[in-house]
Chains A and B, each alone.
Chain A
Amino acid sequence: MLNQNHPDDERLSALASDDVDATTDTGLMAHVSSCGQCTQLVSELGMLRVALGDLPDLRPSRPLQLLPPVEADRGVDRLGGWARRFFAPVVAAGAALALVGTVGTAAPVLDQMASGGADGGGDSAAIQEFAEPAASAASEEPATLDVGAESFGSDGDVAASPLTGQKSPEARDNGAPADQENARGEALAPSTPDERSPWPMVLFTGVALMVAAAGLRWILVPRAG
């Protein structure tokens, strides 16, 4: 009997979905057209396909977030990223500047205190010396020179400090008697070098950098909660 050897069910399923390899299979097509059982199967599988393709959409089981939350503030987030990335280097640079500024500002004072302690009354003697009238100084030139040299020696240390930057080459070359008066003048004006010192500004810049970095990070970087 012609219809006893039915095609494989998967071939019939392929025919039901109009697969090209099934629809161009003349043997398969000839069998199905003459076999009621296979025609019925192909028809049912075709209806099943239609019904599956017609299944409705389904309501979500819970409300869904339509937009990703991570993209909420993209601009601020980008700035926050920059703030996060540069926070540590800027604070480190600020701290370094502040440290250098502190050392630079404090060094002359410490040097003065240290040299004052070592020389005993040397400085006060020099100050007392220069406080005397010019006429008296002129009449006692050698003694003044001795005290001045002593005074210069003690202040020469300060002037030679690399942190103060106070004319140290001049001070070292200051062996000529003609320059000793100038050296005395410098020794007697301790506030003048401090006023011109860049170190307080360096200290201030360092602290300002750290404060600015911390502030920007606090404003721009989102916090938990």
Chain B
Amino acid sequence: MADALEKTPAHRTQPLPDEAAVIARATSGERTAFAQLMEHYQSACYGLAWRLLRDPDQAADATQDAFIHAYKAIGSYRGGLFRSWLLRITANASYDIMRRAQRRPSSPLPDPDEGAPELPDLGAVNPLAEATKSELYRQLEVALRRLPEDQRTAVVLCDVYGMDYNEVASMTQSALGTVKSRIHRGRLRLRELLADHRELFNG
């Protein structure tokens, strides 16, 4: 499967105009260049962490951990879309936190209807269309939070962030068939949850 992370959706953080030069400076040890990259991509990383962990504090911790790992590993970056490289690190950091939380369950699972993040302003070129899209995103986020954790993780990594089945299987330490099954069941469950909002998909 082609790596869908290689194309960045319109509402996601786009690459910096001079990204190759900034990455080159960061890999040579220039701290300001690395900070510039992290500042640019922090929303992308936090979004992934939040969708996996469903908790703002844990998501911020995972993003912070990802920055530290990225700083240590920036010397081994070997091309490709930097956003994809950083998101994989963030997904691993988030999954580590998730595993730790599973070993020591200390707090109740968050209410799926609460704690939804503030979605960014999508612009007002076509206010009605953008309002419909914002509502679709909100309903999608709520539905994602209602999925069982294994299905949500698989759907977020595969459908939201475009990782291929093998990558998701490796990250979640699951069999390839299990991952495929989780993704398909997760999608079907999302479809059921969004049954009352089908008109949003056509907007």
Which of A54, A61, A68 lies in contact with B59, CB distance below 8 A? A61
Instruction: Show 5 residue pairs from A and B whose CB-CB distance is below 8 angstroms, ordered by the A residue.
Output: A48-B159, A56-B137, A58-B117, A62-B60, A67-B71
Q: Is the CB of A57 within 8 A of B71?
A: no
* A135 proximal to B (CB < 8 A): no
**Contact A68 to B46, CB < 8 A, known contacts A53-B159, A54-B10, A55-B160:** no
Nearest chain A CB to B79's CB is how many angstroms away? 23
Contact pattern, B 128-168, Cβ under 8 Å of A = 1, otherwise 0: 00000000110011000000000000010001101000000
B160-203 residues with Cβ-Cβ distance < 8 A to A are 160, 162, 180-181, 183-185, 187-188, 190-191, 194, 198, 201
The reply on A131 being an interface residue by CB < 8 A is: no
Q: Count the B residues whose beta carbon is within 8 Å of the partner chain — how many? A: 53
> Within the complex, which residue of B67, B184, B191, B201 is in contact with A64, where a contact is CB–CB below 8 Å?
B67
Q: Which of A8-16, A144-152, A176-184, A199-207 lines the interface with chain B?
A: A8-16
Q: Does A85 contact B (CB under 8 A)?
A: no
Annotate A32-67 by CB proximity to B: 1 below 8 A, 0 otherwise. Answer: 000000000100110111011111111111101111
A-B contact count (CB 8 A): 129
The verdict on B42 contacting chain A, using a C-beta distance below 8 Å, is: yes
**B56 and A61 within 8 A (CB):** yes
Contact B67 A13 (CB under 8 A): no
Kindly state whether residue A195 has any CB partner on chain B within 8 Å: no
Q: Does B120 sit at the interface, judged by CB under 8 A?
A: yes
Closest beta carbon of chain B to A7's beta carbon, Å:
12
B residues near A59, Cβ cutoff 8 Å = 43, 46, 117-118, 120
Q: Are B190 and A61 in contact (CB under 8 A)?
A: no
